[in-house]
Amino acid sequence: MFLEKEEEKILDGEYGEVMEKCMKILVKLGDIYGADKLIDIKSVHSPGASYRVSGDAGLNFVEEVSKKAKFKCFTTLNTGGMDLENWKEHNIPEYFAEKQLRLTRAYEKMGAISCHTCTPYFIGNLPLENEDIAWGESSAICFANSVIGARTNREGGPSALAAGVIGKVPDYGYHRDENRKGDFLFKINTEVKTVREFGALGYYVGKIVGRKVPVFENLKNTTLDNLKALSAALASSGAVSLFLMKKEEDLERIEIDEEDLKEVYEKFGDKGKPDIVCIGCPHASIFEIKEIASILKGKKLDTECYILTSKPIKSLSDRMKYTEIIEKAGGKIVCDTCPILTAKESMNYDLLYTNSAKLAHYAPGVCDIDVSLLELKDCLVVK
Ligand code: F3S
């Protein structure tokens, strides 16, 4: 891979050991994937920001880097292991909280925005079309590539950290035009209009395409929340990082009918009374919280209910009095975390209701919880 003079100097250790280590990660990746140069990036969304994922090895690495380096570009943090302010309410063990706080502080020291979320585009990390970025978190990557039109590969914790410190990534994969083309065309013959339905579509298509690029024809009701659900589901049953919504003629064509989505609903069917409801995977937008508040106004929930979001969106919800309505109904808005990335000890439940196909996919394996994938209003069981 060709390196500019300054990049060579970093690799030769002239700017210290930490910079050298970061550059080595990027060069190694570039060599593996056949990149011929490094390119500048506009932002980073760093995965591995939950202690549950980073473990001690990741925590030590981030702390080591934070002593000597700062992020060169705008950097946000993916969902963490607990609500940074209210973790004591959620059965988080002390040892876990201590390590999560150390991890968050180390990222902050490097200049990352102190907010853990999987929807960084709702809190100001919003690149422009065709901008190169280095993002982790599969749902956010798929959303960034497909909805925003920015360009990122699937970065892991170390590569996103290295990219942020150096301000560059190797030029391969979805940074390049030739890889941003469709592989299969999906013609949608059934009405898809809710978060649950978009999630079911993504779940079904993700299983078919794996890591390839689906193109959707006749996809309507493309709201931000629906597209975030689609992105998340495509990236969980499959490993999709890019989907397209423009017609490409010479692709294998697959029809999607109502029956296909029914398969997904049956897999995650209604299994009786839940002991936990989780909405906001990926983290809820203010529009979703508004909808939840309008359903719950004046009612009482019959079960524990967590609305997952970021701190800035919760602040908006507080100001709009949605939080008050939700809390009066017995629900809680939880920031910075989610069932999949929080401490295992805090998810001691048997049956979870959600409208998120991504959460339905992961919760049984990661949290050992049975799941029903339902429409939002059916998740919010009231007395
Ligand atoms: Fe976000 Fe956790 Fe879902 S990171 S996409 S809420 S599994």
Q: What pLDDT is attached to residue 250?
A: 87
- In angstroms, the CA 229 to CA 185 distance is 19
Euclidean distance between CA atoms 21 and 23, whole angstroms: 5
pLDDT band with cut points at 50, 70 and 90 for residue 249:
confident
Nearest-atom number in ligand 1 for the CA of 140 is 5
Percent of the chain predicted with pLDDT > 70:
100
What span, in angstroms and rounded, lies between the C-alpha atoms of 167 and 31? 18
Res 246 pLDDT > 90 = no
Ligand 1 contacts CB of residue 308 (under 6 A): yes
Spatial contact of 79 and 116, defined as CB atoms under 8 Å apart: yes
3-class state of residue 6 by DSSP: helix
What residue ranges define each of the domains in the chain, with the CATH number in brackets?
A: 5-177 (3.30.499.10), 181-266 (no CATH), 269-379 (3.30.499.10)
Q: How confident is the model at residue 168 (pLDDT cuts 50, 70, 90)?
A: very high
- Residue 280 alpha carbon, nearest atom of ligand 1: 6
For helices 224-237 and 286-296, the axis angle rounded to 10 degrees is: 100
The closest alpha carbon to 46, from 127, 151, 118, 150, belongs to 118
Cα–ligand 1 centroid distance for 6 (angstroms): 38
Spatial contact of 77 and 89, defined as CB atoms under 8 Å apart: no
**Measured from the CB, is residue 79 less than 6 Å from ligand 1?**
yes
Residues 363-379: what's their mean pLDDT?
Answer: 97
State the average pLDDT over residues 148-172: 98
Percent with pLDDT over 90 in the chain: 98
Mutational pocket test of ligand 1: of 45, 137, 231, 283, the residue with most ligand atoms within 8 Å of the beta carbon? 283
Q: Is the pLDDT confidence value at 247 over 80?
A: no
Q: Which of 338, 347, 352 most suits a substitution to test ligand 1, by most atoms within 8 Å of the C-beta?
A: 338
Beta carbon of 228 within 6 Å of any ligand 1 atom? no
Looking at ligand 1, which residue's alpha carbon is closest to its atom 7? 340
Residue 65 reports pLDDT greater than 80: yes
Mean pLDDT of the chain: 97
pLDDT of res. 156: 96
Cα(358) to ligand 1 centroid in Å equals 8
pLDDT tens, 111-143? 999 999 999 999 999 999 999 999 999 999 999
Q: Please provide residue 128's backbone torsions phi and psi, each rounded to the nearest 5 degrees.
A: -95, 170
| Distance from C-alpha of 212 to C-alpha of 335, rounded to nearest angstrom | 33
Whether 141 lines ligand 1, by a CB cut-off of 6 Å, is: no
pTM of the model: 0.97
- Could you tell me the two tokens for 263? 């398969």
Q: Which residues contact 297 (CB under 8 A, 6 or more apart)?
A: 325, 329
**Per-residue pLDDT reduced to its tens digit, 16-45:** 999 999 999 999 999 999 999 999 999 999
- Residue 128 C-alpha to ligand 1 middle, in angstroms? 23
DSSP for 50-64, please give it: SHHHHHHHHHHHHHH
Q: What is the pLDDT of residues 187-226, one digit of tens each?
A: 999 999 999 999 999 999 999 999 999 999 999 999 999 9
Closest-CA residue to 155 (of 47, 235, 242): 47
Cβ of residue 340 lying under 6 Å from some atom of ligand 1: yes
pLDDT tens readout for residues 278-310: 999 999 999 999 999 999 999 999 999 999 999
